[in-house]
């Protein structure tokens, strides 16, 4: 297969001259990066195309010929697994007239037929046949330009499927770099080191997608934006341990939890050091959920010492693993950010369940754990996320004022000895610091300034 | 007195969401809308229609505690994230609240810090097409209704529409809601600020 290098035809002056260093400064950014539709159009290729972007999870297409629809920026895609198991990210766009050829979210099929003129493609993207071929001077199925476009580079890391249009990008593994370690730990606590996606809490908000990414590691907003949640989680005063997010209540910067910038836009919020590591430790900080007393009592009477670590499987890992630009692993969720326009974004909180990979749990315990895991995962989207999304919308509204230009990201900035640069180049600071915003937006600027080598490819 | 010192605090412990509870719920909400099970008695239908209207009025007036009083002590409020309803043991729901979590939901809205509902949405609910179905238990009915909630929030009115299944049980001579399944038309789509009680 060869790469089809693209010099995209654009409307005149589609990309005006931006003063990137003026827009993104050391400690603040200009409102235009959230409010300018032309800049958003550039992002849809320079960011959502120029770097590795999360597309789907392998557990959504476990079997040959499974498919799921997705997006790369605004491009509609079909992520397919062909008969031999190869995963591709096909453009959901008929090569004839541009119609989308797949209109369902998921399924199993060897191919796709365009509902407009009946062009028929295999799930490898190859054009298999068209109605009345004699009306064309040449045999279209022999010419690869009529095969579906594909994202030229698609790679997976432990079930997470990514794609990029940038043929000069490093390998996915190199691109992830140090953030691989928290991903591994997040997976490895589950049986067989894997999770399976189930349904999702799906939201949208009227605001720029970066407002969600800015928030993903923000330890400063927790106690205020989520004030109603924290109060609700602690509404019964008979509990010895404080629940959920309450460890933010006193002086979060004095606790051993931290924020760490991991390079290439990725960052990691680790709240685990604030907790004592022990079996049942994660379970102990869970707020109240439907079914928890029943399963807890049942497990403790049936499984003895094993019960605590089994309950931990229904509990959430207190980490936020944020993979630029659109993936966040937090608690047990796989959250995906999907830009819609400069002032509209979708955030989908996929739930994850576990499998009894080695048969040590048994069907009954597995059902109980997953049922409880569903209920623990419904808590934050319902009682926390909705308040953040409202605040994101209100930021977007505040930013309509053109004269008041700056958004500050300077918490923790220029304070001697506050931030450490580690040997591997990662940058670490206290939990409420905005250092990850300053670092990731620098990577954003680098990509926006770059003259990228963008390509698509087609099956031969 | 704090607005939350009242009934929402009633259920500190919750033991009833067991595997059997889920199985019964799934069974009750499978294959129940059959013509041969429709209750033709007009008086009975009016009784349940009245109950649904009272429920809608309580929610429109933000009388959440009075709304919760319409439910049995061991109830569930379930908003599936798939049109088929699915198995809540292995699928995330938009909402799946036992009575205690309903108490949480109300408590949160009453804190004054629930930014997604500050100020609160104004709603006007229309409940219609009420049909009552018999089940295997004499003390239980299933009621299907269509709903359209006009919600005014952030300067705009939108409509949340769909159908609901209410499972009602007669307890101490009174019909109470033991399960409410709310099926939004767009349950599997991204929804802006889904923070009101449906």
B89: chain A residues, CB-CB within 8 Å: 367, 370-371, 374
Q: Which of B92, B154, B191 sits opposite A203 (nearest CB)?
A: B191
**Omega of the bond prior to A426 within 30 degrees of 0, cis?**
no
Q: pLDDT 10s per residue in chain B (198 long)?
A: 344 444 444 578 999 999 999 999 999 999 999 999 999 999 999 999 999 999 999 999 999 999 999 999 999 999 999 998 899 999 999 999 999 999 999 999 999 999 999 999 999 999 999 999 999 899 999 999 999 999 999 999 999 999 999 999 999 999 999 999 999 999 999 999 999 999
Which residue in B has a C-alpha nearest to residue A205's C-alpha? B192
Residue B77 contacts A where some CB pair is shorter than 8 Å: no
Model pLDDT for residues A127-138, shown as the tens digit of each residue: 999 999 999 999
Residue B11 contacts A where some CB pair is shorter than 8 Å: no
What pLDDT does residue A242 have?
60
Cβ of A290 and B22 within 8 Å? no
* CATH class assigned to A175-447: alpha beta
* CA B12 – CA A184 distance, rounded (Å): 37
Determine the straight-line distance between the first and last CA of chain B, rounded to whole angstroms. 28
Model pLDDT for residues A14-30, shown as the tens digit of each residue: 667 899 999 999 999 99
What pLDDT does residue A11 have?
73
Quickly name the fold that domain B7-184 has. Nuclear Transport Factor 2; Chain: A, (3.10.450)
Cβ of B92 and A374 within 8 Å? yes
* CA A249 – CA A359 distance, rounded (Å): 41
Q: Which of B15, B92, B108 sits opposite A294 (nearest CB)?
A: B15
DSSP state at residue A317: P
* CA A378 – CA A180 distance, rounded (Å): 26
A288: chain B residues, CB-CB within 8 Å: 14, 100-101, 104
- Testing the interface with A: which of B15, B20, B116, B179 to mutate, by most A Cβ within 10 A? B116
Residue B43 contacts A where some CB pair is shorter than 8 Å: no
User: Residue A323: which of A47, A89, A59 has the closest Cα?
Assistant: A47
User: Residue A294: which of A243, A368, A231, A359 has the closest Cα?
Assistant: A368
B86: chain A residues, CB-CB within 8 Å: 199
B101: chain A residues, CB-CB within 8 Å: 288-290
Helix residue spans in A381-426 (DSSP H): 386-398
A351: chain B residues, CB-CB within 8 Å: 91-92
A301: chain B residues, CB-CB within 8 Å: none
Cβ of B93 and A199 within 8 Å? yes
Cβ of A105 and B188 within 8 Å? yes
* CA B27 – CA B22 distance, rounded (Å): 9
Instruction: Tell me the shortest Cα–Cα distance from A139 to chain B, in angstroms.
Output: 41
Contacts for A159-162 with beta carbons within 8 Å, 24 or more apart? A159/A57, A159/A58, A159/A59, A159/A187, A159/A194, A159/A195, A160/A54, A160/A57, A160/A58, A160/A327, A161/A54, A161/A55, A161/A56, A161/A57, A161/A58, A161/A79, A161/A87, A161/A89, A162/A52, A162/A53, A162/A54, A162/A55
Complex-level ipTM beyond the 0.90 threshold: yes
Model pLDDT for residues A265-298, shown as the tens digit of each residue: 999 999 998 888 899 999 998 999 999 999 999 9
Inter-chain Cβ pairs, chain A and chain B, closer than 8 A: 141
Higher pLDDT, A307 or A16: A307
What's the mean pLDDT when you consider all of chain A? 94
What pLDDT does residue A278 have?
93
Helices B19-28 and A363-380, packing angle to 10 deg: 80
> What's the CATH number of domain A52-165, 3.40.50.1000, 2.102.10.10, 2.60.15.10, 1.20.1440.130?
2.102.10.10
A370: chain B residues, CB-CB within 8 Å: 89-90
* CA A36 – CA B173 distance, rounded (Å): 62
B96: chain A residues, CB-CB within 8 Å: 290, 374-375, 378
* CA A50 – CA A446 distance, rounded (Å): 11
**Cβ(B189)–Cβ(A202) below 8 Å:** yes
Higher pLDDT, A242 or A406: A406
What pLDDT does residue A244 have?
62
Q: Which of A290, A346, A389 sits opposite B193 (nearest CB)?
A: A389
Residue B9 contacts A where some CB pair is shorter than 8 Å: yes
Residue labelled with tokens 């349940």? B48
Domain boundaries, chain A: 52-165, 175-447
Query: Which residues 115-174 of B have a C-beta within 8 angstroms of A?
Result: 115-116, 154
The alpha carbon dihedral of B7, B8, B12, B18 has a sign of: positive
What pLDDT does residue B4 have?
47
Provide the 3-class DSSP secondary structure of residue B122: strand
Cβ of B101 and A288 within 8 Å? yes
Cβ of A235 and B4 within 8 Å? yes
User: Residue A287: which of A241, A329, A252 has the closest Cα?
Assistant: A241
Query: Which residues 58-97 of A have a C-beta within 8 angstroms of B?
Result: none
* CA B189 – CA B198 distance, rounded (Å): 16
Checking if the pLDDT of A91 tops 90, the result is yes
Residue labelled with tokens 């450490």? A420
A204: chain B residues, CB-CB within 8 Å: 190-192
Cβ of A198 and B107 within 8 Å? no
DSSP state at residue A39: H
Q: Which run of H or of E encompasses A457?
A: strand A455-458
Q: Which two tokens stand for residue A239?
A: 């509990």
Q: Which of B15, B19, B95 sits opposite A378 (nearest CB)?
A: B95
DSSP state at residue B112: S
Q: Which of A293, A377, A382 sits opposite B15 (nearest CB)?
A: A293
């Amino acid at each position: 297969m060869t790469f089809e290098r693209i010099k995209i035809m654009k409307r005149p002056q589609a990309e005006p001259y931006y003063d990137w260093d003026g827009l993104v400064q050391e400690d603040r950014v200009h409102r235009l990066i959230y409010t300018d539709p032309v800049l958003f159009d550039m992002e849809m290729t320079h960011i959502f195309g120029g770097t590795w972007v999360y597309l789907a999870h392998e557990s959504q297409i476990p079997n040959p010929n499974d498919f799921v629809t997705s997006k790369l920026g605004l491009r509609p895609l079909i992520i397919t697994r062909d008969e031999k198991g190869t995963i591709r990210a096909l453009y959901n766009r008929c090569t004839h007239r541009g119609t989308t050829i797949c209109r369902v979210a998921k399924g199993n099929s060897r191919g796709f037929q365009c509902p407009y003129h009946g062009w028929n493609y295999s799930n490898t993207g190859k054009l298999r046949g068209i109605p009345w071929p004699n009306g064309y001077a040449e045999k279209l199925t022999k010419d690869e330009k009529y095969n579906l476009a594909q994202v030229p580079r698609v790679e997976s890391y432990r079930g997470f499927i990514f794609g990029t249009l940038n043929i000069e990008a490093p390998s996915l593994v190199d691109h992830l770099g140090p953030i691989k370690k928290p991903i591994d730990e997040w997976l490895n606590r589950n049986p067989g080191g894997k999770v399976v996606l189930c349904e999702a809490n799906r939201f949208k908000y009227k605001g720029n997608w970066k407002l969600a990414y800015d928030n993903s590691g923000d330890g400063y907003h927790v106690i205020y934006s989520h004030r109603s949640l924290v109060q609700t989680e602690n509404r019964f005063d008979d509990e010895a341990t404080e629940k959920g997010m309450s460890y933010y209540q006193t002086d979060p910067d004095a606790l051993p939890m931290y924020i760490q910038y991991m390079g290439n836009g990725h960052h990691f919020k680790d709240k685990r050091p604030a907790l004592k590591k022990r079996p049942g430790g994660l379970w102990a900080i869970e707020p109240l959920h439907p079914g928890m007393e029943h399963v807890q009592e049942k497990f403790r009477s049936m499984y003895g010492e094993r019960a605590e670590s089994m309950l931990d499987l229904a509990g959430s890992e207190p980490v936020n693993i944020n993979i630029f630009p659109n993936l966040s692993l937090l608690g047990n969720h796989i959250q995906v950010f999907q830009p819609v326009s400069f002032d509209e974004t979708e955030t989908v909180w996929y739930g994850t369940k576990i499998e009894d990979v080695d048969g040590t749990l048994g069907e009954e315990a597995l059902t109980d754990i997953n049922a409880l895991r569903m209920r623990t995962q419904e808590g934050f989207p319902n009682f926390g996320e909705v308040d953040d999304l409202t605040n994101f919308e209100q930021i977007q509204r505040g930013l309509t004022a053109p004269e008041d230009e700056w958004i500050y990201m300077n918490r923790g900035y220029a304070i001697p000895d506050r931030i450490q640069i580690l040997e591997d180049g990662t940058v670490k600071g206290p939990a409420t610091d905005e250092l990850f915003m300053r670092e990731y937006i620098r990577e954003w600027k680098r990509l926006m300034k770059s003259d990228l080598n963008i390509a698509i490819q087609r099956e031969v | 007195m704090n607005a939350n010192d009242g009934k929402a605090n009633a259920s500190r412990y919750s033991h009833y969401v067991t595997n059997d509870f889920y199985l019964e719920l799934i069974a009750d909400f499978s294959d129940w809308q059959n013509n041969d099970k429709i209750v033709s008695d007009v008086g009975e239908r009016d009784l349940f229609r009245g109950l649904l209207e009272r429920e809608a009025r309580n929610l429109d007036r933000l009388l959440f505690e009075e709304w919760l009083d319409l439910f049995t002590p061991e109830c569930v409020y379930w908003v599936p994230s798939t049109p088929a309803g699915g198995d809540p043991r292995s699928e995330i729901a938009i909402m799946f609240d036992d009575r205690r979590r309903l108490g949480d939901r109300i408590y949160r809205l009453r804190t004054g810090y629930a930014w997604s509902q500050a100020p609160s949405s104004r709603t006007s609910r229309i409940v219609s097409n009420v049909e009552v179905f018999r089940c295997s238990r004499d003390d239980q009915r299933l009621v299907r209704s269509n709903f359209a909630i006009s919600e005014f929030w952030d300067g705009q009115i939108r409509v949340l529409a769909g159908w609901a299944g209410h499972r009602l049980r007669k307890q101490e001579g009174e019909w109470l809601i033991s399960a409410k399944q709310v099926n939004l038309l767009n349950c599997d789509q991204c929804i802006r600020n889904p923070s009101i009680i449906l």
